[in-house]
Amino acid sequence: MKKRKITIAILLTSIALLGVIVTQSIWVTKSVKLRSDLLDQNLTVGLKRVVNQIMLLQSNLHNHQNDISEEEESVSEHKYFIQHLDPAIIDSMIQNEFRNSFADQKIYYAIFEIETNEFVICNCTGLDEEILDSPHKAPISCVFQEDQFMLSVLFPRQQQFIIHELQINIISSVIFTLIIIFGFWYIITILFQQKKLSEMKHDFVNNMTHELKTPIATISVASEMLMNPTILEQPEKITQYAGIIHEENIRLRDQVDNVLTVARLERSDFKLKLDNINAHDIIRDVVRKFEINIANRGGMIQTRLNAANMIIYADNNHFANVIQNLIDNAIKYSPEKLEITVSTHSNNDGLTIYVEDKGIGIEQHNLEKIFLQFHRVSTGDIHDVKGFGIGLYYVKRIVGAHGGTIQVKSAPGKGSSFLVFMPFKKIDELKK
């Protein structure tokens, strides 16, 4: 997929996702407000009902009274009634009225005199200011008299109560929104990974084509020379061209084997042929193969095999390939200062092999990627550094199959150092 199409797809999806989040937020906000308004309405209606019950109680008492004492005459009948109300009766009225709307929630209330703010009945100790400022009030009116008393209720946990009632809807909305966000992020990640993998495979095919064409072309030229009748009179030329064909054939075979080996690593039936091997002997044999090539470039490779215990339980061929790949990698990325050192160290747990060079080094952002399949520090169609991008991937898989680890330390312009740890314990087979 082209970069522009990916950008457009991400932009459109991001807008849609933002729209969903905004819509969900608006929906939750409106739900909370709607529920809050409904509770306010219930409190207002409930207050009026309680006031009506109080006035009805006063009316019934008035109808059953025959006379009024001198003390009662000194104050209005209504005021006397309010001041002598039984708190238990008010509490019962409040609880019965709001029980259904505020299940098991604490409701604070107070009856106070309007002019003095003096409490007559209350259960709101410590909440005097809050109960007086509560928006939920209703006057306890008496016909033909100014309002003297006010009934006020307070529900301090109203917001928490509303959120608790709507928590299933809110939580589900948040969860589904997060799932959508995570899914979007995951799809974008996979999309970029697939795009990167596609580019890496494209580079791999180009590099492989270039690497295979070189020995094929050399073999073709050498073969044509051998077919020339005049070559029969020059035995030394026959030997030379035959040697070139042989060397290029080995080179071609090795390159194909590398690709096939990596393909086998992806299969679950891949197994190591483990045995006790002398790591130092294998390292010396591998180094010996590179000495002439390195010397021809004016470079040097040296070994410091100082490990006290060099016997490991490993696959002979694959261990040799690991060392060969690391040295070959050091040569590729050392265009000028071709100085390579291979050293060993051992402890009670295992053997550590160091392959160090003074080449161009590796940028920090590439250190975690160099062991990925098909990844090459130098990508594209520029063949300044040859290879398929599978060498270090192969090394990591083989070392891991032996129960070992590989680390790299590098800095641009200062070279690289690869540390391979091979444990002394036995590993039966490659485990995926």
DSSP 233: G
DSSP annotation string for 144-180 = TS---EEEEEE-TTHHHHHHHHTHHHHHHHHHHHHHH
Three-state DSSP class for residue 249: helix
Same domain for 254 and 308, yes or no, is: no
Same domain for 354 and 238, yes or no, is: no
Structure tokens at 406: 């590989």
Question: 184 CB contacts (<8 Å, ≥6 apart)?
Answer: 13, 14, 17
Same domain for 288 and 204, yes or no, is: no
> 9 lies in which domain range?
3-165
The pTM for the full model equals 0.49
Same domain for 48 and 143, yes or no, is: yes
Is residue 178 in a domain? no
**Closest residue by Cα to residue 124 from 104, 139, 109:** 109
Same domain for 399 and 335, yes or no, is: yes
Is residue 145 in a domain? yes
Structure tokens at 387: 């290879």
Is residue 295 in a domain? yes
Is residue 357 in a domain? yes
Is residue 185 in a domain? no
Q: What is the pLDDT along the chain (432 residues), one digit of tens a residue?
A: 566 777 787 788 888 888 888 888 888 888 888 888 888 888 888 888 888 888 888 777 766 554 444 444 434 677 778 877 888 888 888 888 877 766 667 788 888 888 888 888 888 777 888 888 888 888 887 655 667 888 888 877 777 777 777 778 778 888 888 888 888 888 888 877 777 777 767 766 766 676 677 678 888 888 888 888 887 778 888 888 888 888 778 778 777 776 776 666 666 556 788 889 999 999 998 888 888 778 877 888 899 999 999 999 998 888 988 998 898 888 887 876 688 999 999 999 899 999 998 888 877 777 777 777 655 555 333 345 455 557 788 888 889 888 899 998 888 888 889 999 999 875 544 444
Indicate the residue among 237, 265, 293 that finishes a domain.
Answer: 265
Same domain for 154 and 208, yes or no, is: no
